[in-house]
Structures are given as structure tokens and as C-alpha cells.
Amino acid sequence: METLFVIVSLLAGALLAVQAGANAQLSKATGSPFVATALQLSVGALGLLLIAVLTGTVAALALLPHAPWWHAIGGVASALYVVSTIVLFPRLGAVVTVGLFIAGQMFASLTLDSFGWFGLTPKTLDAATLFGTLAVVLGAAGIVFGQPGTSWAQQSQQIEGKLGWMALALVAGAVLPVQGALNALLRADLGAPFVVGTVSFLVATLAMAAVQLVITTVEDAPKSPAGGVAQMAWWGWLGGFAGATYVTTMFTAIPVIGAAAAVGLTVAGQQVASVFVDRYGCFRLPKRPVPGLRLAGVAALLVGVTLIQLF
């Protein structure tokens, strides 16, 4: 059983790259990353709600009014993460975006663990964690600076023009551990993981719908390209299912193989898949070379994650 969950966790991480590609296609079809995000999250919410119904746990929704309100807002992190993948993959590439996501995720996890925020047990930083953090920093630097065929001066100039996007990637990665901590609190309140996932995706959908409503109020409504959603590739709808699969895998794998192993394996699957997305231009995203320095950065990042999560 453990071997099965190891494989499933790797594949669930890789599915996040599928989610990003699918979301990018839906964004093009709708003419708005916010509309695309709301649609994909609603698909995920419906999928998780169906699982909750089939497993007989949907009645736990009746306990939601009795839970502290802030336990239920973790889904806002999903909204930020998904919309960030849509806007960042075409601008930074899959490898850089995912690398920065992971770096932000690791730094936020360390902060939560060190201070014991959101009900977590405080942990002392040991040597493995410190070396892992250093490896994550070096790996992220290698990924960012590993652009092919450019001098250091040219790279610095290009990076300077993308600092805002890179900061967004770090923040989008950092909010995921916060979401996990809040969802854990909500799971303790409701006692039903699939219902927690449903609430999380529903909150995320409503957050994106509210953002789009505000934008539409102050600006013209987005215009879909010719053909719109009707002409979109069928796999453009897979983003919501990929996200729901990832959430479900995390809920079911952690009790079997542990949280550290589940997070480490999904991160590994996500980063390896991003290399293939860039190298071969999967999901109609631009092809981007993956030079040696960038691959070395990916390897260092994975080593750092392993040290932080497993030791």
C-alpha cells in the first residue's frame, strides 16, 4: 500500500503541471485569467462534493457554521495559486515558476514550524533543515539565473524586469502551507477531509468570482477570442480535476506515508514535470531550453526539499 501511495503522490505532483497548462488554455478561451480560475476551481469543488456524497460524509457540512470563520478561508490561497500559474507560466516558464513556488512553500513551512502558528507544534531548526534551506536558496538561484545563451549582465537585466512576477511566484508558493494549516484546523472541526476540500475549493471559487465582479464593474467585461470555450481543446477543462486529485491525494496519502514524504514526493513530481513542460512545450506553452545550470538548480532544490521534509 505504501508503494502505491509513493507512486500516486509523485503523479499528483506532476498533475499540477497539467493543471497549469489546462488553466492557460481556458484563460485564452475566456479572455480572463480570473474567469478561467473561477471556472476551474468550481469544477474541482463539484468533483470533491461528489466524492463527499459518495463517501457519505457530506452531512459534515452542517458543522461548518460552528467552526471559527477563519478556519474556512484557506481556499483563498488556492485562488491565488491557480491564477498565478496562469499568468506566470507564459512569462517565466514552467521550471522557473515551479522552482519559485517550491522555494516560497519551503520558506513558509519553515516559518510556520518554527513559530508554531495556526496550531502547529513549534519545531527547532536542526542541521538538516539549515542545510536544506541553503540548498533551496542555491537551487532557486540556479533556476532563475540558468538562462541559456546570455551573459550575466544580460541575465541581470532580464531578471530585473521580472522581479515583480518572481515575487508573485514566491508569495503564491508561500500561501500553500498556510492553506494546509487552515484546512487541518477545519478538518478537526468537521472530521471529513473531502468536505474540507469542497469548502476550500468553494471559497476559492467565490473569491475569484468576487475579483472578476469588481474588475467588470470598473472595466469592460473580458471578451472571449473567436470560438471561445467552444473551440478550446477538451483537456482545457482538466485543471479543476487535476487540482481536486492533488488535494484528495494529499488527504489520503498523509495518513499512510506521512506528511513529510507526501509533500516531498508531490514537490518532486511537480518539478520534474515542469522540466518536460518547458523542454517540449507541452500543453501549447512556449518551448524553453533547460540548460545545465537550471537542471543543477532543480536537483539542488529537490535535495533541499528532501533534507527539510524527511530529516
Query: Which of 48, 71, 76 has its CA nearest to residue 190?
Result: 71
pLDDT at 158: 63
Query: Which of 176, 253, 302 has its CA nearest to residue 9?
Result: 253
| Per-residue model confidence as pLDDT tens digits over 39-60 | 888 888 998 899 899 999 999 9
Name the amino acid, one letter, at 288: R
Q: How far apart are CA 41 and CA 170, in angstroms?
A: 21
pLDDT at 57: 92
Q: How far apart are CA 85 and CA 244, in angstroms?
A: 16
Confirm if 26 and 39 have CB atoms less than 8 A apart: yes
Q: What is the mean pLDDT of the chain?
A: 80
Q: Is the pLDDT of residue 270 over 90?
A: no
Q: How confident is the model at residue 160 (pLDDT cuts 50, 70, 90)?
A: low
Cα angle at 184 between 181 and 187, to 5 degrees? 155
Burial class (CB in 10 A: 0-12, 13-18, 19+), 54: exposed
Residue tagged 539542488 (cell numbers): 300
- Which DSSP letter does residue 230 get? G
User: Which residue did the predictor score with more confidence, 67 or 119?
Assistant: 67
| Per-residue model confidence as pLDDT tens digits over 180-237 | 888 888 888 998 888 998 999 999 999 888 887 887 776 665 555 545 666 777 777 8
Q: How far apart are CA 121 and CA 116, in angstroms?
A: 5
pLDDT at 63: 93
Q: How far apart are CA 16 and CA 13, in angstroms?
A: 6
Confirm if 180 and 262 have CB atoms less than 8 A apart: no
Q: How confident is the model at residue 280 (pLDDT cuts 50, 70, 90)?
A: confident
> Where do runs of H (alpha helix) occur along the chain?
2-30, 33-54, 75-92, 94-115, 127-145, 152-160, 163-190, 193-218, 238-257, 259-280, 292-310
How confident is the model over 294-306, as a mean pLDDT? 78
Q: Is the pLDDT of residue 259 over 70?
A: no
Q: Is the pLDDT of residue 6 over 90?
A: no
pLDDT at 260: 64
pLDDT at 112: 80
Q: Is the pLDDT of residue 153 over 70?
A: no
pLDDT at 61: 93
